Amino acid sequence: MKIARVRTGDGIERGEYDSGTVTTRDGQTHSVGADAELLAPCEPGTFYCVGRNFAETLDQMDYDVPEEPDWFLKPAVSLHHPDEPIVHPPWTEELTYAGELAAVIDEPCTGLDGKREVQEALRGWTILNDLDALDQPGRTARKAFNGSAPLGPLIETDLDPRSLGMETHVAGEKRQDATTELMLFDPYEIVSFLSERYTFRPGDVVSFGSPANPGLLEAGDDVEIWYEGIGTLRNSVVSPDET
């Protein structure tokens, strides 16, 4: 099942998504693009982002193979909606993208032990674009800024995350092409590992790293990140002058 979150004339609603229509629990239907605007499918308090989780990324960035998951945090203000333009920050000349599979937490939880407990704690799976200002000093300055986490477009509840194809296209050019089988640590391992250190809250997001991502983003670029079974997260890049 696919879950969407939309803004309607009556407020923000969540429901099952099918062919452009969102049906809420009370049976109301909304048509995306007509009477409803698609939003990010959850409201994370925190993004828990794992890096260095694909061998080709280690080669690209000249990193050592980690012995355990390597992670960083993005705050709630990093959230950015699907289809909403990404404003290229004026303080960086090296903005890049990263097409990542992400899990959405469904209930307060900590100390998850193994795949079954992780599955029970998750709402489902979605897509994150981990924006990165490469010329800034340190991970927080590079990655934890306003709008640095485009998320969506939907949550898929029924999915095996360990063997999914993915592609990223920028300005019509294929920039990433990989499968989640190439991850060094699989999603269940990562969620369990991080849950030993944090108490997750409903709506929090855990992402699992990106294949190598050659190239930067410029104003005028369209970014499309596709993950098998979930869909495509789309955003365009605009200059600050266009806002």
Task: Give the closest residue to 232 by CA, choosing from 151, 173, 160.
Answer: 151
Tokens coding 90: 């004026």
pLDDT digits (tens, 9 = 90+) for 124-162: 999 999 999 999 999 999 999 999 999 999 999 999 999
Adjacent-strand bridge partners of 151: 128
pLDDT digits (tens, 9 = 90+) for 9-42: 989 999 999 999 999 988 899 999 899 999 999 9
- pTM across the whole model: 0.95
Q: Looking at residue 214, what is its pLDDT?
A: 79
1-39 has which fold? SH3 type barrels. (2.30.30)
Residue 35, amino acid: D
**Any idea where the domains of the chain sit in the sequence?**
1-39, 41-242
3-state class (DSSP) for residue 57: helix
Over range 228-239, report the average pLDDT: 98
**Chain centre to alpha carbon of residue 122:** 15
Q: Do domains 1-39 and 41-242 have the same CATH topology?
A: no
Class of domain 41-242: alpha beta
